[in-house]
Structure 1
């Protein structure tokens, strides 16, 4: 293990991962349909992401829990408990968020039913180590996107305050526990090729799944074939805030053999966020 790897592992081992019971009280009448800067594309994109979380978080918890018996490090075992707490709360909060979306006649129940059936199929047919590799890949996606939410003002510019608060909280906790599944994978599985091949597959499937759900929302809104909406989408992905170019280098880091999530030390963002918060408690 080189000095860079040692530093990243030391940071990872030092992380405390608390479970916070948040109190997001959505005032339904105060939130507009296009709550993200009155932008159809950005609002439906974030709504589509939210639909992936409840069942996705359950899969993450199961994947890590299934390998817990192979872990002897007491600090990592404690972090696993914190990871499971945080992911459970994320799933709960996003389920409430998704229920809120029914207000605009989006077929949330059908989408969530499909997500649930897919995760049941995955648990039945995919080996445990593959599901853990999937978890690591998706945790990397959420970590690098979370960093943008916390550091790039353009990424949250125009968000309704109630949703902005929720997404920033989620970003903080994804940053806190970004290495847990990876550390479990390295100790319990360790295969470099399974890790990177899974990331290639998940990159395609994650983008496809998000786009399909977003297309359903746009179709329901009569906006699917509106060229102005897709121009806004191009700007969102490549110009402002430029999601793809801003995360691409961090995304590629995952393919290094010596990669570790804490190679990118952004712990200062966690302390800054906690100083701002008065509405959470540790559970």
Structure 2
């Protein structure tokens, strides 16, 4: 069986966000699509924040294996940022004022970097990386999550999820190295609590804003189907929220969470299709 924790591998994949791609790319439903669009809007600046917070402590890391993983983490996150910037540019082409939101995110990030101590910034990265790992578990472990998505977006989210699962412990390992003991634990729990409130408020607000901008704010049928998708079946939001509690345990480590066999399949899949055009290949799990 493949090692569940192999070397972190940056995959320089570029997606073709052509203008003819559907706006309601998931389930032909604007509310479901805009939930994932809301996540995408936060990624370019968020991924840069993650890189910067780890870089603050890179010089204190002596372990050569962790230093190698840090470099691969930087590369993966930079590619994610680039691809989601392209994704978001297509939202802009569809009439969403993305540039204004980007400026707001940049200001908020600069403010956080000025106001938060360095270890607090790293703890924030650990918290949000746990969220992305939880999304990855659901996206990769339950084919229903992306079964009704357009093939390009389906591949984008599964590729991103697979790499997030792959590097989920890097920032945490750096944090443990520079902030050990009870104070380190207390800080990461406090920061996770703050991050949870931020996440639970910011993403629904962004989703609602996108629904307003696309003229679907009062599309109650779409909202109802989105609530079912997010909370009931497949229930990706429910999976993520319930997964937060494990992070609060003193002995928590990302690598202690079970690696779904489908994650290993996706790693093998992307190695085998490295040079193929992503978004056009048949899916690994056999959906049409």
Which structure is richer in relative contact order (CA contacts within 8 A, separation 6 or more)?
A: 1
Q: Equivalents in 1 of 2:237, 2:151: separation in Å?
A: 24
Cα pair distance change 1:245/1:47, threshold 3 Å: closer
Q: 1:241 to 1:211 in 2, by over 3 A?
A: same
Distance 1:85 1:243 in 2: 27
User: In structure 2, which of residues 51, 54, 57 is the aligned counterpart of residue 67 of structure 1?
Assistant: 57
Shift of 1:212: 2.0
Ranges in structure 2 where 5+ consecutive residues have no aligned partner: 276-288
Indicate if the aligned counterparts of 1:22 and 1:279 stay in contact, CA closer than 8 A.
Answer: no
Further displaced range: 195-204 or 242-251: 242-251
1:45 corresponds to which residue? 35
State the shift of 1:279 in Å.
Answer: 4.5
Matches within 5 A, 1:147-226: 147-190=137-180, 191-226=184-219
Q: State the alpha-carbon separation in 1 of the partners of residues 228 and 258 from structure 2.
A: 29
The CA deviation string for residues 178-209 of structure 1, in whole angstroms up to 9 with x for no partner, is 00000100111131111111111101111222
Q: Judge conservation of contact 1:71–1:184 (CA < 8 Å) in 2.
A: yes
Instruction: Give the count of matched residue pairs.
Output: 269
- 1:133 corresponding residue in structure 2: 123
- Structure 1 counterpart of 2:12, from 7, 21, 27: 21
Please identify, of 269-278 and 181-190, the stretch whose mean Cα deviation from structure 2 is larger: 269-278
Which residue pairs with 2:280 in the alignment? none
- The 5 A counterparts of 1:57-136 are 57-136=47-126
How far off is 1:95 after superposition?
Answer: 0.4
CA shift, 1:52, in A, is 0.3
> Partners in 1 of 2:243 and 2:208 — Cα distance?
27
Q: How far is the alpha carbon of 1:115 from its aligned partner?
A: 0.5
SS at match of 1:20: coil
Deviations 1:240-271 (A, max 9, x none): 21123333443211010000001113164343
**8 Å CA contact retained: 1:179, 1:260:** yes
Shift of 1:276: 2.5
**Matches of 2:17 and 2:155, distance apart in 1:** 11
DSSP-derived class of the 1:55 partner: helix
C-alpha distance in structure 2 between counterparts of 1:268 and 1:82, whole Å: 22
Change (3 A) 1:43 1:25: same
Following TM superposition, by how much is the alpha carbon of 1:225 offset from its aligned partner in structure 2, in angstroms?
Answer: 2.7
Task: Normalising by structure 2, report the TM-score.
Answer: 0.89
Say whether the 8 Å CA contact 2:137–2:260 is kept in structure 1.
no
- Computed over aligned residues only, the root mean square deviation of the Cα atoms, in angstroms, reads 1.7
| Distance (Å, rounded) in 2 between the aligned partners of 1:248 and 1:113 | 28
Match for residue 259 of structure 1 among 252, 260, 265: 252
Which of 217, 222, 233 is equivalent to 1:229? 222
Which residue, out of 243, 262, 270, partners 1:269?
262
Kindly indicate which of the two structures has a greater share of residues assigned to helix: 1
Equivalent pair of 1:146/1:172 in contact (CA under 8 Å):
yes
Q: What residue in structure 2 maps to residue 4 of structure 1?
A: none
Question: Which residue is 1:244 aligned to?
Answer: 237
Q: Work out whether residues 235 and 242 of structure 1, in 8 Å CA contact, stay in contact via their aligned partners in 2.
A: yes
The one-character-per-residue Cα deviations of 1:92-134 (angstroms, maximum 9, x if unpaired) are: 0100110011121001001111001111111112111111011
2:274 corresponds in structure 1 to 280
Q: Distance in 2 between matches of 1:122 and 1:246?
A: 28
Hey, which bits of structure 1, 4+ residues long, moved more than 6 A?
A: none
